[in-house]
Chain A
């Protein structure tokens, strides 16, 4: 029931000028921004397409290029193994620290300390990988070499430390430690963010029930942050898989498959293999390397995809 009261009203002068619904400036600007978005999608597709185009011949070149293996799979296999091994060890080292530091920044550190600490950790991310490689290869390797000898003597029964220990430290262990340091910032940053997003109410609810700080973290913070932490770990994994220079500069590589991480005989990673062999590669050799690059891309893409998917799912769950 709508009652209407109409009053007579004199309609004065001019009409507002009629214009097309979208002005020229708006159309141009919108086209530009949509075009940029599309360009990014095209570029990503381009990565796949060009790597496939240039890498495809590398799947079946003369056997000599796969030396000592005879097929592409035999060639790429040990490299993929090395890539995953280095990344997984790096994760095992980095994740506890990342969670610890993230908790430190979000819940433990005094206010005055939290911001500078977060900044310091971000600074670690700013150090170029070639500098990490230089430091790892020249400085850290010597110390790890020393520690490796001790590991072989005392923990030699574990396959990882079977030895013979390389005193030079140009080993998988050193590379993994450096990788761990390099993925620490991103993993920490994401954990920190999700920890800090824990609703204040949940935390206070836990504390009000008489929980200690640690119990509060276990009952309120961790469950809330779980999917975020998983995706942080996955992103760290993605970084570690793709990292090139630090590994190339530290590892003295050989095409073997071994769990032994302190000997001088360790498998290279895909990325480091590309970097170290690029100089002398002929067109065929180049194609082989690009093909391994495609394998790496597909692998990291998958890992990152999964990480983002899990993170997205977590967010949706939290939003409800």
Chain B
């Protein structure tokens, strides 16, 4: 760029350029909020008022910046504003959903609701979701029983034995693809399998477990694999050098080192599938009474309970649906929190 040299003066060399004060975004935010409030006062609904405030901020901030600072700074401020609003808007459904479920569900929850089933419940008699709770626990428990050993062993294969072999690469890829299997397809698979064995009208809880396993295994494999890879090779070598065979090294040194992470992954995987509805609807069916035997007959689960009560479209059914949703969310969140706590407890030791 020879042109540069001919320029008499280069204003860019000045270091201090006009800048908006640090409190500028806050001021604009306040103004935008005020505009939103004004819109609300003259009759707009809440959503619209929030929209007004957001748009106001996104317009005023860049314009002000463009006038005082520069075009580039204005674009930067616009991007910042957009990113922040994306985050804030995304919080809306989460909060909204939780508030709705809690406020609608809390009135339904009582000891009877949790300990009664729906057998022979007519009209406004008190029923409950006990049968669904039992079903969910049994089916998910069985699914975990299948997926955890298979998933962990497959991850061990990928990390410890497969290394870069062809089969390992294919398996990694298939596991990745498998995480995207629609849950209803998993249900149809389990159904097809059991229909081939037992005939067309078959519905049983164990089928649900098979379907859930199909959804759960890839998550377990991925999280376990990740954890195993975090274990430094130093430790494996130290163990080999003591003359310890490979399988004992894996069981006694590698797995214990990352057991916290593995358990966290398993618990999170359980929390993912415990809320699955579609496959259970298809293969486990629904019933109104307690069935303790997952290998015989229909079995109710919590998500399916919510769905059937919802489709019943009665006031009673709807309140049961909300109550069931609250129970389900509490279970899922509890599992999530348990997973984080386990992760925390084991984290420092595996740290380094």
Contact = CB atoms under 8 A, between A and B. Distances in A.
A130 B170 contact: no
B277 A129 contact: yes
A88 interface: no
Interface residues of A, number: 91
Interface stretch (A6-14, A73-81, A93-101, A154-162): A93-101
Interface string A6-34: 00000000000000000101101110111
Contact of B162 (A37, A104, A213, A271): A37
Contact of B177 (A23, A33, A54, A308): A308
A305 B177 contact: yes
A249 B217 contact: no
8 contacts: A23-B245, A26-B245, A37-B154, A101-B83, A147-B47, A213-B80, A238-B180, A300-B185
B322 interface: yes
Across the A-B interface, give the 9 residue pairs with the lowest CB-CB distance, nearest first: A242-B182, A128-B275, A100-B86, A304-B180, A29-B247, A36-B153, A50-B192, A212-B76, A33-B157
Nearest to A282: B200
Interface of B: 47, 72-73, 75-76, 78-80, 82-87, 89-91, 93-94, 96-97, 100-101, 149-151, 153-154, 156-158, 160-162, 167-168, 170-171, 173-186, 188-189, 191-193, 195-196, 200, 214, 217, 221, 245-248, 250-251, 271-272, 274-278, 281-282, 303, 306-307, 310-311, 318, 321-322, 325, 328-329, 332-333, 336
B90 A303 contact: no
The majority secondary structure among interface residues of chain B is helix
Nearest to A129: B277
Contacts of B84: 104, 108
Contacts of B162: 37
Please indicate which of the listed interface residues A39, A133, A214 has the most CB atoms of chain B within 10 Å of its own CB: A214
Interface stretch (A61-69, A137-145, A198-206): A137-145
B221 to A, nearest CB: 7
Please indicate which of the listed interface residues A28, A139, A245 has the most CB atoms of chain B within 10 Å of its own CB.
A245
A209 interface: no
A104 B83 contact: yes
A255 B96 CA distance: 32
Interface stretch (A115-123, A165-173, A256-264): A115-123
Nearest to A234: B180
Give the residue among A50, A103, A131, A303 with the most B Cβ atoms within 10 A.
A131
Contact of A108 (B80, B184, B251, B325): B80
A312 B221 CA distance: 18
A196 interface: no
A212 B75 contact: yes
A28 B246 CA distance: 11
Contacts of A283: 200
A40 B96 CA distance: 39
